[in-house]
């Protein structure tokens, strides 16, 4: 059932420019509409933040960050962002409209794809991400919902709503942003994000396209997160027997749990994918997956979420290498190292053990004594190394978020010295406490070696500059020069400030704020223009009157029936009395003329019967009585004969005798 008619935005014109035609999709943060840019006369997608979230500064900042980030990416496989702004409670992005579907739609309908189709989709996705990575950005929320496939076959990456600059601090305190099924282990553990988290998500995408299912599932997000941390992604050939070994290798390389083992960005993974494809024959590329893998999809884990850090952190109730244990680990029991050691061999774990060369096999047949001697030598040597190292090495103790005094005491207790102490600004770490150490916490270090500390100076603050009267582009530049982010733009009428220049800021000028904070800008729409009423006018006269008022005119393609003569203005949007800015557009819809309907024959009927018939058919009724017929009750004639047609809503006069 089409519910767009119930949406209050459908049919409206946002910001005097974007006519909303239909609702496309609804998400947790925004609704996407198909709209028309009335100035440039082009169809586009309008992403409008839910009004309930528009009051949340962090959501608005993320919205604006998406516009700014994607606008910098000029790539054929990235959905373009044309404009960003606000109209009252509606904060919006104007984006390229892609007629087609998402990769999630394809997977729901078809399940597993042939390898050729999977690689044909993956390659342009990696090309888009590669452009972002080389421009200094990380997507952080790659999933099938954000891969658009046009009706013409073009593949585009959308929704850079969680994009972050590679060289900015990406750790988050208390939460992780992303989609559970596609989070890389380092995102879960610390919130850190560099291009390799997108590489990991693309490895999950490839696995899902090749098998029709996700590699990690569970009854709760916590279980899925745990598996990302502690379980390798299985080879696709385990689900699809006979699948090419090269595809197993691609998935293994991209989804290595240790970030350093993965390709360093999407460009490197794309090169690896193309090399792998080149080694596959047509039969391997066009292999048809079993129909059993076309499963019904549960999208509960596909939503972008704010995940509490407590849900992602290992607890005493979770064993490091085998899933949730049946009991808590007792005090002093070793939890292991999280499986990091065996992760370093991910890229070769699908190979069969190589056959031993002939000389090696001969040596192993020389008898048990040689083997026993070799084992004893190895054990003796290992014991000696352990004995020597145990007295020389220790680990850097946990120091993060400790005061400098506490950090010095802990280092002394661990037999380590304090090295260089530096200070740095931090938006997330309390002033006077440790931001980082060198070597890092947990690193292996010789006794009495120095550990350098970086202590937080708290957030860096700056004053909001006076931007009143500056053109919008210049105001944005001045904010960036001060280390601030241009925030949401709201347009308002002003008789004192020129159109397109800043009226005010929020926070106001001179206010001290954190560096990097967003500053909302109110920009002048110029003096207000009252929209005149031109309904019923000839289009030429209407156009002339509107232009004299300083407004632009657009004539709608469709025509509607109305009480006005054919060719006259039937309705206008915005309506008469609304206030617009000079240069805004008024859309005029012309009349097809009134609807002609048949007139009932009421001659001989009583006055009440005649009125009921005529009004029921859509006419107005007037009575014509002579002086001698004041008390008559029978219709003796009608102004339009029964069976003829007349405009709906017109008046029929009946003669009473």
Would you name the residues annotated as active-site residues? 141
Closest C-alpha among 485, 495, 575, 493 to residue 534 = 575
Q: How far apart are CA 107 and CA 599, in angstroms?
A: 58
492: enclosing H helix or E strand: strand 485-492
Closest C-alpha among 507, 501, 457, 446 to residue 476 = 501
Closest C-alpha among 2, 305, 352, 333 to residue 180 = 305
Radius of gyration of the chain (CA): 35
Q: How far apart are CA 432 and CA 424, in angstroms?
A: 10
Residue carrying the six token digits 């008024």: 586
User: 571 in helix, strand or coil?
Assistant: strand
Contact 49, 90 (CB under 8 A): yes
Contact 295, 111 (CB under 8 A): yes
Q: Is 510 exposed, middle or buried (0-12, 13-18, 19+ CB in 10 A)?
A: exposed
70: enclosing H helix or E strand: helix 57-71
Cross-strand partners of 424: 456
Closest C-alpha among 242, 233, 249, 234 to residue 289 = 242
Q: How far apart are CA 627 and CA 551, in angstroms?
A: 56
Q: What is the DSSP string of 608-644?
A: HHHHHHHHHHT-EEEEEE-GGGTT--BEEEESS-TT-
User: 164 in helix, strand or coil?
Assistant: strand
């Amino acid at each position: 059932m089409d519910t767009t008619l119930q949406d209050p935005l459908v049919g409206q014109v946002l910001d005097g420019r974007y006519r909303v035609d239909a609702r496309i999709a609804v998400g947790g943060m925004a609704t996407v509409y198909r709209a028309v840019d009335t100035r440039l006369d082009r169809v586009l997608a309008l992403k409008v933040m839910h009004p309930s979230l528009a009051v949340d500064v962090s959501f608005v900042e993320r919205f604006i960050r998406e516009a700014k980030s994607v606008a910098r990416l000029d790539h054929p496989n990235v959905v373009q962002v044309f404009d960003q702004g606000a109209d009252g409670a509606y904060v919006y992005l104007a984006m390229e409209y892609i007629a087609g579907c998402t990769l999630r739609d394809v997977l729901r309908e078809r399940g597993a794809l042939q390898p050729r189709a999977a690689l044909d989709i993956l390659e342009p996705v990696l090309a888009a991400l590669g452009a972002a990575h080389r421009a200094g950005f990380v997507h952080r929320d790659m999933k099938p919902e954000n891969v658009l496939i046009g009706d013409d076959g073009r593949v585009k990456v959308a929704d850079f709503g969680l994009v972050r600059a590679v060289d900015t601090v990406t750790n988050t305190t208390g939460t992780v942003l992303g989609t559970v099924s596609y989070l890389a282990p380092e995102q879960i553990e610390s919130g850190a994000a560099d291009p390799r988290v997108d590489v990991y998500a693309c490895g999950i995408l490839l696995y899902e396209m090749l098998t029709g299912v996700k590699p990690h599932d569970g009854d709760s997000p916590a279980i899925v997160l745990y598996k990302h941390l502690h379980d390798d992604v299985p080879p696709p050939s385990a689900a699809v027997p006979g699948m090419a070994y090269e595809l197993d290798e691609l998935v293994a390389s991209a989804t290595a749990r240790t970030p350093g083992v993965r390709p360093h960005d999407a460009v490197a993974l794309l090169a690896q994918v193309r090399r792998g494809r080149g080694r596959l024959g047509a039969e391997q590329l066009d292999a048809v997956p079993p129909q059993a893998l076309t499963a019904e999809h549960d999208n509960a884990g596909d939503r972008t979420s704010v995940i509490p850090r407590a849900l992602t952190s290992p607890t005493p109730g979770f064993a490091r290498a085998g899933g949730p244990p049946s009991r808590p680990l007792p005090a002093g029991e070793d939890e292991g190292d999280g499986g990091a050691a065996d992760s370093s061999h991910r890229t070769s774990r699908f190979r069969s053990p190589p056959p031993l060369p002939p000389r090696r096999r001969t040596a192993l047949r020389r008898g048990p004594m040689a083997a026993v001697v070799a084992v004893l030598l190895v054990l003796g040597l290992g014991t000696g190394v352990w004995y020597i190292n145990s007295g020389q090495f220790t680990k850097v103790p946990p120091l993060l978020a400790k005061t400098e005094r506490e950090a010095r005491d802990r280092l002394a207790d661990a037999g380590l010295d304090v090295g260089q102490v530096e200070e740095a600004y931090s938006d997330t770490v309390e002033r006077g406490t440790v931001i980082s150490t060198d070597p890092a916490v947990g690193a292996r270090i010789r006794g009495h070696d120095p550990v350098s500390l970086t202590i937080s100076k708290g957030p860096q603050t700056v004053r909001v500059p006076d931007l009143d009267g500056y053109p919008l582009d210049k105001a944005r530049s001045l904010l960036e020069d001060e280390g601030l982010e241009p925030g949401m733009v709201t347009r308002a009428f002003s008789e004192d400030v020129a159109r397109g220049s800043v009226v005010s800021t929020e926070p106001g000028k001179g206010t001290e704020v954190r560096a990097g904070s967003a500053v909302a800008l109110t920009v002048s729409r110029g003096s207000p223009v009252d929209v005149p009423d031109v309904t019923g006018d000839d289009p030429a006269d209407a156009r002339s009157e509107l232009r004299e008022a300083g407004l632009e005119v657009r004539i709608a393609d469709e025509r509607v029936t109305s009480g006005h003569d054919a060719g006259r203005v039937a309705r206008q949007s915005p309506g008469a009395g609304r206030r617009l800015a000079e240069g805004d557009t008024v859309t005029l819809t012309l009349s097809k003329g009134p609807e002609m309907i048949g007139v009932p024959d009421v001659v001989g009927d009583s006055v009440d019967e005649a009125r009921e018939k005529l009004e029921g058919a859509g006419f107005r009724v007037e009575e014509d009585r002579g002086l001698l017929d004041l008390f008559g009750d029978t219709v003796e004639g009608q102004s339009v004969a029964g069976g003829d047609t007349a405009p709906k809503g017109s008046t029929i006069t009946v003669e009473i005798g």
